[in-house]
Each structure stands twice: as structure tokens, then as C-alpha cells.
């Protein structure tokens, strides 16, 4: 069990994380709650105009981001 966790962490640090938008493994980006958005997608989202066909795609992908529950 510990070996699997260590391997996962090592792979994560070497190869990056899966972007919630493009669904590709990327090394750099931001975290939005528990989701990862790569730098390229972040820039594309920021620059997208509401009449751009990609805008609807970005909205659809961003709906995958959920706020973490707070347990007290």
C-alpha cells in the first residue's frame, strides 16, 4: 500500500497532473478546488470570448470542477 502511494506521488511529480479541461497530462498549472487546470487551458479560457465556439466547451469542462465538502 505505501509503495503504491509513493509510486503515485513520484509519477505525479515527474509527469504532472491531468488537466480537467484538455484531459491531458501536464506539468504546470493551477488548482481550482480539487481539480487541475494546465497553463495553456487557463490562458485559453481567459482569452475566450463568449461568442467563441470553444467557450461552450470550456463551460462544459469547468462543470466537472466541484467544490469540496467541508466536514466539521
In a domain, 23, yes or no: yes
Task: Show pLDDT as tens, one digit a residue, over the chain (72 residues).
Answer: 454 444 444 445 567 899 999 999 999 999 998 899 999 999 999 999 999 999 999 999 999 988 776 776
What percent of the chain is helix, strand and coil (3-state, nearest 5)?
A: 45, 15, 40
| Domain limits for position 58 | 15-62
The confidence score (pLDDT) of residue 14 equals: 66
The confidence score (pLDDT) of residue 26 equals: 95
In a domain, 3, yes or no: no
How many independent structural domains does the chain possess? 1
Q: Could you tell me the three cell numbers for 13?
A: 511529480
The confidence score (pLDDT) of residue 34 equals: 86
Residue for cell digits 503504491? 4
Amino acid at each position: 500500500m505505501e509503495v503504491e502511494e509513493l509510486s503515485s506521488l513520484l509519477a505525479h511529480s515527474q509527469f504532472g497532473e491531468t488537466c480537467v479541461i484538455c484531459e491531458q497530462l501536464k506539468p504546470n498549472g493551477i488548482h481550482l478546488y480539487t481539480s487541475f487546470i494546465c497553463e495553456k487551458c487557463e490562458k485559453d479560457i481567459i482569452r475566450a470570448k463568449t461568442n467563441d465556439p470553444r467557450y461552450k466547451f470550456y463551460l462544459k469542462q469547468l462543470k466537472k470542477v466541484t467544490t469540496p465538502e467541508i466536514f466539521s
